[in-house]
Amino acid sequence: MNDHHTRALHFRTLHVPGEPLVLVNAWDAASARIVAAAGARAVATTSAGVAWSLGAPDGDALGREAAVDLVRRVATAVPLPVTADIESGYGDTPDEVADTVAAVLAAGAVGVNVEDARHGGTTPLRPVDEQCARLAAVRSAADRAGIPLYVNARVDTFLRGAGGVRETVARAEAYLAAGADGVFVPGMVDPETVAALVAAIPAPLNVLAGPGAPAVPELAKLGVARISLGSSVAEAAYAVARRAAEEAFGAGTYGALADAIDYGTLNKLMRR
């Protein structure tokens, strides 16, 4: 059993309902090391943050090669399990999605998020049977590689306004049968709804949290197994850049740069 296999097995054990794995999503090697140094048990990428940092919009616009290269950089930068947000798989067909997963595994990841949103199509979500075929391809690719990849099936019903609890649970059950290990339902943090999903979905539930969402202990009491901050950390970082620019070009002052991580601390993190 190699280190990659061991990290994958360890990552699976971190998904415990009521004791959630908290993921502060990173988008480059530096943010990954900052998160790891703060005490993370694993590191997750954010597809939006990754795409923005590479000059592309989120939503299946970034190419596979660039996305995989970023995963490799993050996995190399930290000694923790890394799970990659691969959007809908960077491929039009299940076989192409399988190729993506093989590349992501080779890059060092031990988990993936695969979403059922359809960007630019006539419907907000992929048909269930189509998404199941893509998830089955993900599982097959991982099996061929001999890595117990954690497959987190993202259900975008709430995020895309395409259904409520019933539709979410139906999709979750189908995705689990196709080979997923956990279910990610972003766009919803109402405690009553979270509790209903935890009770109905026979797998670890992942929610997306941020300002205004229940705190980690509250979500833990509801039985959540995984909490992601998603693109919000990258958004906050880029907000600092915008405030600094507007202030420098306007008032000519530098207050937005207060409370920054100092040069020495960041440089030391990069030497590890």
Query: What string of pLDDT tens digits covers the 272 residues of the chain?
Result: 689 999 999 999 999 999 999 999 999 999 999 999 999 999 999 999 999 999 999 999 999 999 999 999 999 999 999 999 999 999 999 999 999 999 999 999 999 999 999 987 789 999 999 999 999 999 999 999 999 999 999 999 999 999 999 999 999 999 999 999 999 999 999 999 999 999 999 999 999 999 999 999 999 999 999 999 999 999 999 999 999 999 999 999 999 999 999 999 999 999 97
Strands 21-23 and 226-228: parallel
- Domain membership of residue 268 (yes or no) is no
Q: What is the CATH number of the domain that holds 139?
A: 3.20.20.60
Q: How far apart, in Å, do the first and last CA atoms of the chain sit?
A: 26
Residue 269 lies in a domain: no
Query: Which two tokens mark 25?
Result: 């999503």
Question: Under a CB-based contact definition with an 8 Å cutoff, are residues 228 and 44 in contact?
Answer: yes
Q: What are phi and psi of 78, to 5 degrees?
A: -130, 150
Q: How far apart are CA 33 and CA 88, in angstroms?
A: 26
Q: Residue 26: what are its φ and ψ, rounded to 5°?
A: -105, 165
Exposure string for 102-123, b = 16+ CB within 10 A, e = fewer: bbbbebbbbbbbbbbbbeeeee
Residues 267 and 272: their CA atoms lie apart, in Å, by 9
Tally the domains of the chain.
1
Q: Is residue 92 part of a domain?
A: yes
Which structure tokens are listed for 260?
Answer: 């920054």
Asked if residue 259 is part of any domain, the answer here is: no
Q: What is the pTM of this model?
A: 0.96
Angle between helices 165-178 and 128-145 (to 10 degrees): 30
Domain that holds residue 138: 3-231
Q: Give CA 41 to chain center in angstroms.
A: 14
